[in-house]
């Protein structure tokens, strides 16, 4: 179990490419494994979550050959794996795979996960997949899926969840009729953008998305870098005066960049599109700290993974920040409402957890202490960034979990931080 010791920093500075996007990597690997022709996925994120996806796909029959900075994925029939498919810590792998497996008539697989994933709700995917005609056992992991010839559904989601939406969209590709999914608010739309970009018949209208059963043609892509991983540095730069950063190839999908609504945190150059995704190079210069913020409603899904690090920012803002409508945060890799409040309060902050969010009074000076991130990668990285502004030494225990999404985090920390 790794321990990271962090001390107060002067600033961060440097130019680099944050790790490739986790959500886009999952989708690109899965879509490539469903293709009728060879595909190439360049610069996939090879962190534990996406490794789990790749291993599961290989166990289902996918042929993925490493080639340069990516993988060639060749068409191959899917078959029932002999052993359970281990999704590790990855909710995205489990939910997206559940959808795809359900669509292969005669293929059966059991999806398992680590301790954290085994506690997470799966009824949100098993229910719609059953409605489509699949046989699914388990509303929590392990989940056993018996694929069938599925029919499309009209499905109104109770919560905004890109994983649930994507499971239904992937399941429909091989179904006999179209599906329409309606969300209560917009969750990340990577699946829709990717499917459209490879020529799948998919239509979005407001909060509704309709996809037709379609064959998947081969495609080539390069995965952009992950805004959620970059967010740790964007916020560190706002907290440390004089910081200067350039973040290359940054994914700027507006369904992911809710954080930017807090203020002018970035200047973007070289805007471009990669497989339907907006990408650019982001320049982060020291901007005045934003005002305390109120986050709720439709904004929440667009920054859900950034809430732990945004809560750290709020501890340094003058006044009360409020996060609400974020009860989904309680069922992520950990109960992130509880864990965020716990580690920040341990460091001297004033954070009150609520049912669906938290209230943060600022500014409060932070002091170094020992933090246990409870196996949650985003809590571990948020605690490490907190250590850069805290007095004394901050110790983050169990940092191995950072490999879930950002294996080079410590290397980047060492490269960027100036004391
Ligand atoms: C993800 C969707 C989000 C997010 C998760 C990744 C995805 O969860 O929190 O880290 O890749 O689809 P939801 O399914 O709750 O939107």
> With bands split at pLDDT 50, 70 and 90, how would you rate the model's confidence at 285?
confident
Q: Count up the domains in the chain and report the number.
A: 2
400 is catalytic: no
187 close to ligand 1 (CB < 6 Angstrom): yes
Q: Which domain holds residue 413?
A: 3-20+224-418
Are residues 266 and 334 located together in one domain of the fold? yes
Atom index in ligand 1 nearest the CA of residue 27 equals 11
Q: Catalytic pick from 114, 189, 249, 305?
A: 305
Is pLDDT of 151 > 90? yes
Are residues 13 and 32 located together in one domain of the fold? no
Are residues 301 and 364 located together in one domain of the fold? yes
Q: Which of 195, 222, 249 is the last residue of a domain?
A: 222
> With bands split at pLDDT 50, 70 and 90, how would you rate the model's confidence at 36?
very high
Are residues 245 and 180 located together in one domain of the fold? no
Are residues 187 and 254 located together in one domain of the fold? no
Q: Which of 159, 187, 222 is the last residue of a domain?
A: 222
Are residues 197 and 300 located together in one domain of the fold? no
Atom index in ligand 1 nearest the CA of residue 96 equals 12
pLDDT in tens, 187-227: 999 999 999 999 999 999 999 999 999 999 999 999 999 99
pTM as predicted: 0.98
Is pLDDT of 55 > 90? yes
Are residues 128 and 13 located together in one domain of the fold? no
Are residues 109 and 213 located together in one domain of the fold? yes
pLDDT in tens, 291-310: 999 999 999 999 999 999 99
Are residues 242 and 261 located together in one domain of the fold? yes
Q: Which of 222, 245, 262 is the last residue of a domain?
A: 222
User: Residues 161-175: what's their mean pLDDT?
Assistant: 98
Are residues 228 and 325 located together in one domain of the fold? yes
Are residues 127 and 250 located together in one domain of the fold? no
Looking at residue 139, which CATH number applies to its domain?
3.65.10.10
Residue 158 has a CB neighbour count (10 Å cut-off) of 10
Burial of 106 (0-12, 13-18, 19+ CB in 10 A): exposed
Closest CA to 129 of 163, 161, 172, 159: 172
66: left (phi over 0), alpha (psi -120 to 50) or beta: beta
């Amino acid at each position: 179990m790794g321990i990271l010791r962090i001390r107060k920093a002067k600033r961060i500075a440097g130019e680099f490419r944050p790790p490739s996007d986790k959500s886009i990597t999952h989708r690109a690997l899965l879509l490539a494994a469903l293709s009728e022709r060879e595909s190439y996925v360049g610069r996939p994120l090879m962190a534990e979550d996406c490794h789990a996806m790749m291993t599961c796909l290989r166990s289902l029959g996918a042929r993925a050959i490493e080639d340069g900075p990516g993988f060639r994925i060749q068409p191959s029939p899917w078959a029932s794996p002999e052993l359970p498919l281990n999704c590790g810590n990855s909710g995205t792998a489990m939910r997206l795979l559940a959808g795809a497996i359900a669509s292969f008539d005669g293929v059966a697989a059991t999806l398992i996960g680590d301790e954290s994933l085994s506690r997470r709700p799966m009824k949100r995917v098993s229910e719609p997949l059953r409605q489509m005609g699949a046989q699914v056992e388990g509303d929590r992991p392990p989940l056993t899926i018996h694929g069938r010839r599925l029919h499309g559904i009209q499905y109104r989601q109770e919560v905004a969840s890109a994983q649930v939406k994507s499971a239904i969209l992937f399941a429909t590709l091989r179904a006999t009729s179209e599906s329409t999914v309606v969300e209560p608010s917009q969750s990340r739309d990577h699946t829709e953008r990717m499917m459209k970009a490879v020529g799948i018949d998919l239509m979005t209208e407001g909060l509704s998305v309709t996809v037709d059963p379609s064959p998947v043609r081969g495609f080539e892509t390069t995965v952009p870098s992950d805004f959620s991983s970059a967010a740790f540095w964007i916020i560190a730069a706002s907290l440390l005066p004089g910081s200067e950063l350039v973040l290359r190839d940054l994914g700027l999908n507006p369904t992911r960049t809710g954080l930017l609504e807090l203020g002018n945190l970035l200047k973007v150059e070289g805007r471009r599109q990669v497989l339907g995704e907006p990408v650019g190079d982001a320049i982060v210069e020291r901007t005045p700290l934003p005002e305390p913020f109120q986050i709720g409603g439709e904004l929440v899904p667009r920054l859900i993974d950034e809430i732990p690090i945004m809560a750290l920012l709020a501890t340094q803002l003058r006044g009360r920040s409020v996060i609400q409508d974020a009860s989904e945060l309680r069922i992520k890799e950990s109960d992130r409402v509880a864990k965020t409040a716990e580690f920040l309060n341990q460091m001297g902050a004033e954070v009150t957890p609520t049912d669906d969010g938290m209230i943060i009074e600022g500014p409060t000076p932070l002091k170094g202490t020992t933090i246990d991130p409870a196996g949650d990668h985003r809590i571990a990285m948020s605690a490490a960034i907190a250590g850069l502004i805290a007095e004394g030494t901050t110790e983050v225990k169990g940092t191995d979990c950072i490999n879930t999404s950002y294996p080079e985090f410590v290397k980047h920390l060492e490269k960027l931080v100036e004391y």
